[in-house]
Amino acid sequence: MSDRYYEDFKVGERFVSGGMTMTEAGIIDFARQWDPQPFHIDAEFSKKWIYEGLIASGLHTMSATLKLWLELGVFRACSLGSPGLGETQFPRPVRPGDTIRVVTDIVELRASASKPDRGIGRIRQVTINQRGEHVMEQETTVFLKRRPLSVASARS
């Protein structure tokens, strides 16, 4: 994918990521490090628990979502980071063997009032499993670099 800048995006554009399969070992590994609650790390306990089986940490699903999104390279040239995330929902658990992918829509674009080098974007991401069910829904604000002036001049 060629380098894209703030000016190159349109509200309504959609990007679909590749898939990532969440293994039991990967779920337990992540959770041992960051979210060591029994329903994320103890397969035996989890069988008898309310979710009837091991489920991935929500932060693991968020991390996998970000990784899948970055692999697309859509903001590679223009990402200036994010000041924060909107509400994040986990409508369904992610279980071992689930393959997730991320559908990203550009929902808002506006110039920065204070910083002329950038625009402010808002993306909505829905992470789905192999049955197309939503496992995560989130909006994120992103700072996007404007096309560098020299390049803009060369094109005009």
Chain positions contacting its own copies, by CB under 8 A: 33-37, 39, 50-51, 55, 58-59, 62-64, 66-67, 70, 79-91
Beta strands 14-16 and 84-89 are: unpaired
**What minimum distance in Å lies between the beta carbon of 155 and its own copies?**
24
Which residue lies nearer to its own copies by CB, 6 or 90?
90
**What minimum distance in Å lies between the beta carbon of 87 and its own copies?**
6
**What minimum distance in Å lies between the beta carbon of 47 and its own copies?**
16
**What minimum distance in Å lies between the beta carbon of 151 and its own copies?**
19
Q: Which residue has the tokens 């859509």?
A: 74
Cβ 97 vs Cβ 74: under 8 Å: no
Chain centroid to CA 72: 11
Nearest to 12 by CA among 95, 77, 97, 107: 107
Which residue lies nearer to its own copies by CB, 86 or 148?
86
Cβ 31 vs Cβ 40: under 8 Å: yes
Which residue lies nearer to its own copies by CB, 76 or 110?
76
